[in-house]
Amino acid sequence: MTMMQASGRRPSRISAGTIGIYAFLLIAAVFFLLPAWIMLMTSLKPMEEIRLGNILMWPNAVTFEPWIRAWSEACTGLDCRGVSVGFWNSVRILIPSLILSIAAGAVTGYALSFWRVRGANVMFGLLLLGAFIPYQVFLYPLVRIFAVTGIYNSFACIVLVHVIFGLPIMTLLFRNYYASLPVELFKAARVDGGGFWSIFIRIILPMSTPILIVATILQVTGIWNDFLFGLTFAGRDNLPMTVQLNNIVSSRQGESQYNTEMAATILTAMIPLAVYFISGRWFVRGIASGAVKG
């Protein structure tokens, strides 16, 4: 949309208005980039330079040592194995949670859009409501249930929690997408005698690529960035990267290794940032349809 050109004349020289627009955008860009820039610079400096030097400046002597320390030596209390432990825990949590939550959302969304089941819309309404309720309302009873069933503080537990709390948004996403598919396709498949699962696998699933991409983006960033569930349900040995990172920073003793901490922070942000930069417009589409998650 060309708001400025709509006036019909071409500006012969750069007007004050144009300068103002770019000035505002550049100042805003500085505001948004500054924390990331400072983190990066800090992570590349030795501690003496951090103590003495300017926080904005490019390091006099670039060092990657903080990055290596952050990855393999940073301490949580007495455990000095670096954020790599949390990284691999997060990967192990992410993969099954991702697959199961998308599968659950896709099947539920499919059943809701194409099949008539008594009470299904009521169930869907309640599920949607669940997406908005603060997690603190569910946490304690869930902990009790998991403790009684014996899976509390395990990978299974944290994966199950991610699937349960991913269900509203995943279902909403797939249900809306399937509602936009032509229903004639489905009817034709029914005439040919297709059953519930065969229609889903042979016809619906092959048409779901765009929404599968959106769902994957949402869930990878959402699950990776989770802190509350990992803290509550994963157990000490399976803590995800975000929780471990926070433990490293808050359990520091003596003088902080700020450069190591910042390197660890950047490492923790790496996966969602990679998803963001690679997926581009898909990410925007994801948050437009799934922003309820925040």
Partner 1 sequence: MDSQITNAGRPRFRNLAAVIALIPATAAVVVVYIGCMLWTVRLSFTSSKLLPIFDWVGLSQYSRLFLNERFSVAVENIVIFGVLFIAGCLILGFLLAVFIDQKVRGEAVFRTIFLYPYAMSFVVTGLAWQWFLNPTHGVQKLGRDLGFENFTFNWLVTQDMVIYTIVIAAIWQGSGLVMCILLAGLRGVDESLWKAARVDGIPAWRYYLFIVLPLLGPMIVTAVVLLSISVVKLYDLVVAMTKGGPGIASDVPAKFVMDHFFERNNVGLATAAATMMLIAVASILAPWLYQTYIRPAGRVA
Q: Does residue 171 interact with partner 1 by CB under 8 A?
A: yes
Using CA atoms, how far apart are residues 185 and 181, in angstroms rounded to an integer? 8
As a whole number of angstroms, the distance between CA 170 and CA 127 comes to 11
- Of 12, 13, 78, 294, the one binding partner 1 (CB under 8 A) is 294
Sequence-distant contacts of 73-76: CB under 8 A, at least 24 apart = 74/248, 74/257, 74/260, 74/261, 74/264, 75/248, 75/251, 76/244, 76/247, 76/248, 76/251
**Paired tokens of 210:** 């765009």
CB closer to partner 1, 113 vs 208: 113
Q: Taking CB under 8 A as the rule, does residue 64 contact partner 1?
A: no
Contact call for residue 251 and partner 1 (CB under 8 A): no
Does 186 help bind partner 1 (rule: CB under 8 A)?
A: yes
**Residue 242 binds partner 1, judged by CB under 8 A:** yes
CB of 233 to partner 1, least distance (A): 11
Under the criterion CB under 8 A, does residue 97 sit at the interface with partner 1? no
Binders in 208-237 for partner 1, by CB under 8 A: 221, 224-228, 232
Q: Report the alpha-carbon distance of residue 67 to residue 45 in Å, rounded.
A: 10
**Touching partner 1, residues 111-170 (CB under 8 A):** 111-117, 120-121, 123, 125-130, 132-142, 144-145, 164, 167
Residue 257 backbone zone (phi > 0: left; psi -120 to 50: alpha; other: beta): beta
- Residue placing its CB nearer to partner 1 in the complex, 47 or 212: 47
Q: Does 287 bind partner 1 (CB under 8 A)?
A: yes
* Interacting span for partner 1 (CB under 8 A) from 72-80, 81-89, 207-215, 245-253: 245-253
Of residues 20 and 210, the one with the C-beta less far from partner 1? 20
Cβ proximity of 108 and 120 under 8 Å = no
- Near partner 1 by CB under 8 A, which window of 62-70, 79-87, 207-215, 282-290? 282-290
Q: Considering the complex, what minimum distance in angstroms separates the CB of residue 62 from partner 1? A: 19
Q: Which is nearer to partner 1, 41 or 155 (CB)?
A: 41
Q: List the x/- string, 19-38, binding to partner 1 by CB under 8 A.
A: --xx-xx--xx-xxxxxx-x
Please state the φ and ψ torsions of residue 220, each to the nearest 5 degrees: -60, -50
Q: Which two tokens stand for residue 224?
A: 């990776």
Q: Least distance in Å: CB of 222 to partner 1?
A: 10
- Could you tell me which of 164, 148, 32, 47 has the C-alpha nearest to residue 97? 164
Q: Which stretch binds partner 1 (CB under 8 A): 46-54, 68-76, 150-158, 202-210?
A: 46-54
